[in-house]
Amino acid sequence: MQYLKWKDGNEYDGSQINPSWAFQEFGVKDSTIVSWVGPMNILGDNLIDCEDVGVDIKGNLMLNFIVEHFDEQPGNLKLAYHRQRMLVMITRDKLLDYGIRTTQDGDDIFIDNKKLSVSIATASISTMKMHFALNITTEGTPDDVETSALEDNNMSMEQIHELQDSIANTYMEHIETINKDITKTRVF
């Protein structure tokens, strides 16, 4: 699995959740975790979550992650959601390192009952994908949702980039150690 950084400032519009996006964007033929800081504005045609039809999913500045796995064909949606929850739990642990206490409901992270994150998992015939993002600012988030943000918790952009790397690297370490555990386990 490879960790790639996309240029900060790029917008997440939902099209990046399509299969093999990292290959098309970076030419990488591997499972990937891609991260960047930028706005989010998911357009109607790119909505994956059926509950979100007609809902604005946007923010002026987000810490974005796109994860793609090719280790099971067809893609396994249940496994994708398990991995998504693992990414959420890793993120919560890393936020504690900065003194930020959170709560979790499913794949959502909250600070003081205000939504900090957005996330979706999906699968195709060849891949499993996730988008996960944290609000850096509450500016531009939907008016009908109470949101929280990293900047409201005194995180500098330098710390946000440290957090970005730490989340991505820890996620990859977990995937790698799971794969190693599988190879060393005698099965019956």
Per-residue pLDDT of the chain (188 residues; tens, 9 = 90+): 999 999 999 999 988 999 999 999 999 999 999 999 999 998 655 555 545 545 568 999 999 999 999 999 999 999 999 999 999 999 999 999 999 999 999 999 999 999 999 999 999 999 999 999 999 999 999 888 899 999 999 999 999 999 999 999 999 999 999 999 988 888 88
User: What pLDDT score does 56 carry?
Assistant: 67
Beta bridge partners of 62: 38, 135
Please report the pLDDT score of residue 42 as a whole number. Answer: 84
The answer to whether 14 and 129 have CB atoms below 8 angstroms apart is no
- What is the pLDDT at residue 187? 82
Residue 184, pLDDT score: 85
Instruction: Find where tokens 């005698």 sit.
Output: 186
Tell me, what's the pLDDT at 37? 98
Q: Which two tokens stand for residue 27?
A: 């030419």
As a whole number of angstroms, the distance between CA 137 and CA 60 comes to 7
Give me the pLDDT at residue 50, please. 43
Domains (range + CATH), the chain: 2-181 (3.30.930.10)
Predicted model pTM: 0.91
> Is 98 buried (19+), middle (13-18) or exposed (0-12) by CB count in 10 A?
middle
> Helices H, strands E: what count in the chain?
3, 8
Q: What is the pLDDT of residue 1?
A: 95
Residues 68 and 128: beta-carbon distance below 8 Å:
yes
The predicted pLDDT at position 151 comes to 96
* 167/141 Cα distance (integer angstroms): 23
